[in-house]
Amino acid sequence: MKKLHLIVLLLITMLSFTEVSAQQDPQYTQYMYNTVAINPAYAGNRGVTSIVGLHRSQWVGLDGAPRTQSLSVHSPIGEGKVGLGLSIVNDALGPSQETYVGVDFSYTVNTSDTGKLSFGLKGGGHILDVDFTKLTLFDVTDPRFSQNIDNKISPIIGAGLYYHTDNFYAGVSVPNLIQTEHFDVGNNSNGASFIAKERIHYYGIMGYTFDISDQLKFKPSTLVKMVQGAPLQVDLTANFLVMEKLHLGAAYRWSAALSGLVGFQVSDSMLIGLAYDRESTDLGDTIYNDGSFEVFLRFELFNEYDRMLTPRFF
């Protein structure tokens, strides 16, 4: 069925009769290049000022399918123990649109000659808009859809840990510790609340870089995401870096999708990447679903000394 509007309508109608939770945070296939978006402890860990922009179009061909844009800037401060960052994410699905704005802070301590452990905090807010006029309603007189939700602001408080050496990294994070009720219009005639909650999402990331030769590196990595009311999400990714320029990889999202990744280091400062997902579920079999596309651009500012140490593979 081409119209995703009907699916969204069914989900919202379900909210009328019960409290429903689901996986709500944006999804990234190229998470390894956009780590600060899910873990504030990563801020400043690249050792340079890093700017990352990403766009994701999910389930292309389905009207109202998810679309995500993110922009993050982060940098070490002073001697490099403190990192600061700013993240802006716009996430749209059908009639709803959310904008997240977060400020990231990290503090790093040396645990060994090569190991570093960072502690991170995130603070900010998100704005929710829902335009019910974009829905095809079965009952246009239903009062539950008579008033749009405009610019509802809710707070964000998050935390994370990130550890890395020259070849290994691992992290855990909770981008938002607050369970926010997005909207509650009270009780209807059936005595059920019309309510939706922002559930707490838990993330775990890990990766290792193998130096196969002077011209070839291999980095397997994984992302695990947990949230109450949704299946556990596990991403398994295998990336290769050829001649410090070309990134090639493949990924599998457990019981969800297969992905291909490609990136190119245009210069010391600029990396561009593209990913394509193909659903392995029944949704991938529909002729109206052309898969999901993701593109990102990373630009970094550094001096001559930094240039000898970067670009890093993670």
User: Is 314 inside any structural domain?
Assistant: no
- Cα separation of 75 and 81, whole Å? 11
Contact 131, 167 (CB under 8 A): no
Residues 261 and 240: their CA atoms lie apart, in Å, by: 10
Q: Write the CA distances from 75 to 5, 47, 54, 308, integer angstroms.
A: 41, 7, 18, 17
Give dist(CA 275, CA 70) in Å, integer: 15
Give 202-242 pLDDT, tens digit per residue: 999 999 999 999 999 999 999 999 987 778 899 999 999 99
> pLDDT at position 182, please?
52
Structural domain includes residue 43: yes
Number of domains in the chain: 1
pLDDT band of residue 141 (cuts 50, 70, 90) is low
Cβ 293 vs Cβ 56: under 8 Å: yes
Residue numbers of the domain that contains 196: 5-309
292 lies in a domain? yes
Within-domain flag for 69: yes
Q: Does any domain span residue 262?
A: yes
Indicate whether 253 belongs to any domain.
yes
Percent of the chain with pLDDT over 70: 77
> What CATH number has the domain bearing residue 82?
2.40.160.40
Strand residue runs (E) in 199-269: 201-208, 210-213, 216-227, 233-242, 246-253, 257-265
Report pLDDT digits (tens) over 168-182.
999 999 999 987 665
Neighbours of 232 (CB within 10 A): 12
Residues 252-288 pLDDT 10s: 998 888 999 999 999 989 999 999 998 876 665 565 6
Contact yes or no for 248/261 (Cβ under 8 A): yes
| Residue 140 in domain | yes
Residue 110 within any structural domain of the chain: yes
Distance of CA 145 to the CA centre of its chain: 29
pTM: 0.82
